Chains A and B, each alone.
Chain A
Amino acid sequence: EAQVTQNPRYLITVTGKKLTVTCSQNMNHEYMSWYRQDPGLGLRQIYYSMNVEVTDKGDVPEGYKVSRKEKRNFPLILESPSPNQTSLYFCASKVLAGGREQYFGPGTRLTVT
C-alpha cells in the first residue's frame, strides 16, 4: 500500500529534550515536506526537500532541523524543543512534476511542557 508513515503518533516531552519525528514514504517520491498545523492557522510549511541531500527552509523553520540521506526518509529534528512547538505535525511527499498532489502522513501530535 502506497503510504507515508510517521512515528511516533503522539509524543509528550519536556522543554530542551532533543527529539526526532521520523517520516518515511514508499512511493519513490522526490519531494518531501514537513508542515505544522495550529488551530486557526491552517498548515504551514517548516522544511522541504527536493531530493536526497537537497533541503531548504519553509515558512516557519526556526527551532527545527531536517536531513535527507535516503530518498524514502525525511526526519524532523527538534534540538531543544520549546512549548511554542506544541503542535500537530504532518509529513508529506509527492512527485516533483508540477501540480501533483501531496500525500500526507497520519500526523504526529507533539506536546512540549
Chain B
Amino acid sequence: AQTVTQSQPEMSVQEAETVTLSCTYDTSESDYYLFWYKQPPSRQMILVIRQEAYKQQNATENRFSVNFQKAAKSFSLKISDSQLGDAAMYFCAYNHQGGSEKLVFGKGTKLTVNP
C-alpha cells in the first residue's frame, strides 16, 4: 500500500523568507499524481499545487513550487516570499490511480509565519 510521510510536524518562517516542506512517499506504481493541499484555520482543504509523475519538469504556481525527485520518491514544497496568509497545515497527498482513486495523505506540517 502507498504511504506518504511528512517528517516535519511543525515549521516556522519569517515573513518574506523562503521555506521548504518535505514529503516522501512509497509506491510501486510508475504513473501517479502528487498534490499539496493547504488547510488554514477555517479547515477548508485548498489545493496548492499538483505534479504528474510522468513529467520531469517541476510544477510551479506563483510563489509555490515543488522539487519532485521521482527516483528518490521525494516531493517537497517550496514557498517563496512567505506571507502571513500562508500560515496553515500543509498536507502532501498521493493520488492512487484506478480502483478507489483515493488520495493518500501524509500527517501534515503546521507552518507558522512570523511577522
Could you tell me which A residues sit within 8 Å of B by CB distance? 31, 33, 35, 40-45, 48, 50, 56, 58-59, 88, 90, 92, 94, 96, 98-99, 101-102, 104, 106-107
Contacts and interface: CB of A to CB of B under 8 A. Distances in A.
B102 A99 contact: no
A48 B100 contact: yes
Given A99-B33, A101-B47, A43 B52 contact: no
Interface of B: 4, 31-33, 35, 37, 42-45, 47, 50, 52, 91, 95, 97, 100-103, 105-108
Given A43-B103, A99-B52, 4 more contacts: A42-B4, A48-B100, A101-B47, A107-B45
A99 B43 contact: no
A33 B105 CA distance: 14
Contacts of A41: 107
Contacts, number: 56
25 contacts: A33-B102, A35-B103, A40-B107, A42-B91, A42-B105, A42-B108, A43-B103, A44-B105, A45-B100, A45-B102, A48-B102, A56-B100, A59-B102, A92-B45, A94-B101, A98-B31, A98-B33, A99-B32, A101-B47, A101-B50, A104-B37, A104-B44, A106-B42, A107-B43, A107-B45
Given A99-B50, A99-B97, A104-B45, A58 B102 contact: yes
